[in-house]
Amino acid sequence: MNNYTNGQNIAAASEKNIRTDFKESMTYGEYLHLDQLLSAQDGVSGHHDETLFIIIHQVSELWMKLILHELNAAIKHINEDELQPAFKELARVSKIQSQIIQGWDVLATMTPAEYMEFRNDLGNSSGFQSYQYRMIEFALGYKTKHVLKIYEKDETLHKELLEAFQKPGLYDATIQKLHRSGFAIDAKVLNRDISTVYESNESVREAWKTVYRDVETHWELYQLAEKLMDIEDWLQQWRFRHMKTVERIIGFKQGTGGFSGVHYLKRVLEQYFFPELWEIRTDI
């Protein structure tokens, strides 16, 4: 008996307890609802590359669902002064973001000529309309009320988005934590209208400068700050890869949903979620 055959026999013997009868128990495919998941790639054009286009966006939406799951948990833990589990959740968000970024590399294998074969079949549907992406922006504190109009077609979804819009975000929770930790934060920040876009504040900036200048004393807050920086850094990298992928495939054409395409994607690169954490890099 040769080594290959002997190895096969050993492997077979070691797996003799593998379950093969699932008539009365749940299978892997049933647990994951793979029948639904893998049948959700019905395109509208029949073009070969539309499957690529659909799967990339579906996978991104799945990752975004997990990002929201982790962000909401982190906000809850910060509000409860439980920073250690929040660190784990925020670190996971950063890892997820790295996975989404790599998706653009796969999509970029589609050429302009290939995309033009089915682009018009998409109608007015566009990634700009991703409601989960909007909810991530809301959770990170970037809130623009006019985008809610996009979702009025679905009353249940619109209500869910409005609730997310009106909730304190990750940075709101963090600033409240700074206040509870003894830092003098302006009352106008602590009591601000959380449905508006956050703007940099000098008292918050001074608090972060103190944290970064005395890391040993404020170690947990320092860790929290760096976790936030990781998330914003990765998000900006995601936005940049999105912008360059769109430019590579459609140039400066208008987006399918009517937004300005690359011009819009370049503008959002200037948005900051946690402005003081970027500003103090110059100060310290």
Annotated binding-site positions for heme: 242
The CA-to-CA distance between both ends of the chain, in Å, stands at 71
Give the Cα-Cα-Cα angle 57, 170, 183 (nearest 5 degrees): 160
196: number of CA atoms within 13 Å, CB side? 8
| Pair of tokens at residue 55 | 């799967």
Q: Which residues are annotated as a binding site for substrate?
A: 53-57, 115, 119, 256
Contact between residue 90 and residue 64 where contact means Cβ atoms under 8 Å apart: no
10 Å CB burial of residue 78 (0-12, 13-18, 19+) is buried
**Which amino acid type is present at position 10?**
I
Contact between residue 271 and residue 219 where contact means Cβ atoms under 8 Å apart: no
Rounded Cα gap, residues 98 and 116, in angstroms: 28
Rounded Cα gap, residues 95 and 93, in angstroms: 5
Q: Which residues are annotated as a binding site?
A: 53-57, 115, 119, 242, 256
Q: How far is CA 129 from the centre of its chain?
A: 14
Rounded Cα gap, residues 96 and 147, in angstroms: 25
10 Å CB burial of residue 86 (0-12, 13-18, 19+) is buried
113: number of CA atoms within 13 Å, CB side? 0
User: Would you give the DSSP letter of residue 110?
Assistant: S
